[in-house]
Amino acid sequence: MYNIWTIARRELKHYFISPIAYAVAFMILLIVGVIFYTNLLASMIYQQFAPGVDIVVGPIVTLILFTTPAITMRTLADEQRSGTMELILTAPVRDWELVTGKWLGAFLFYFIIILITWFYPIILNQLVSPGIDQGLMIANYLGLLLMIASLTAIGVAVSSIFSNQIAAFFATAGILLFLWMIGFPSQAMGASTAAEILKYLDLSEHFFSTFYEGVIELKNIVYYVSITSLALFLGSISIQSRRWR
């Protein structure tokens, strides 16, 4: 555990001195801010709806889908390219500790950004009477964090395969988008087992129809935790196999 924390801390620190993380943070905060402002303005003008936490979390989820590859692409790929992998793999660090540490670093980086965006629900709570639905907000944020955990885990796992960051970026983006809409065909397939399986595998399905609506169900938590664990496991296997190549 200690090694995981050492690696995660170093990763987190690295994010805050690298421009890419700032660019990602800037992009998320700017776009979420603009959307938040627009929604607020629209609801004030038309007086049709009271804005909820979804106007913040909705865009964040989409942005995270696209920024995760940029955040995770260098995690392990860069260690391989620069040769520092040799140093870490000859230190008394287990492969899974390395992968988990890298993932935790990326996760904590997002966690901090998400913490910053908490400002919006707080503002919203002040503006809307009688305040926003707190349960909905908790469900949304919980789902968001679970989603981030699995997306970053996939990103780190993909990064372990490559020594080229750009390759890691596009491979991660491809895999994430694929998993994001794998449930799409199920809509046209009618009620069949295959459709159910596709729907179950879908990354977005477990968020938008549940947490996003304020429903916290164990099976969805299990889904994200499983995806995260599976990705980290595969990442460790990939590091291990690197030794054998």
Block residue for tokens 């679970």:
146
Rounded least distance, CB 7 to another protein, Å: 8
Scanning residues 2 to 31, which ones bind another protein (CB under 8 A)?
2-3, 6-7, 10, 14, 17-18
> Based on CB atoms, which residue is closest to another protein, 86 or 217?
86
Is the separation of the CB atoms in 102 and 11 below 8 Å? yes
Q: How far apart are CA 133 and CA 112, in angstroms?
A: 23
Should residue 244 be labelled a site residue for another protein when binding is judged by CB under 8 A?
Answer: yes
DSSP character for 161? T
DSSP character for 215? -
Should residue 187 be labelled a site residue for another protein when binding is judged by CB under 8 A?
Answer: no
Rounded least distance, CB 87 to another protein, Å: 5
Q: How far apart are CA 222 and CA 124, in angstroms?
A: 31
Should residue 241 be labelled a site residue for another protein when binding is judged by CB under 8 A?
Answer: no
Rounded least distance, CB 83 to another protein, Å: 4
Dihedral sign, Cα of residue 66, residue 67, residue 71, residue 73: positive
* Contact track, another protein, 84-123, x by CB under 8 A: xxxxxxxxxxx-----------------------------
Reported for 179-185, long-range contacts at CB under 8 A and 24+ positions apart, including other chains, are 179/154, 179/203, 180/65, 180/204
> Based on CB atoms, which residue is closest to another protein, 3 or 164?
3
User: What residues make contact with another protein under the rule CB under 8 A?
Assistant: 2-3, 6-7, 10, 14, 17-18, 82-94, 243-244
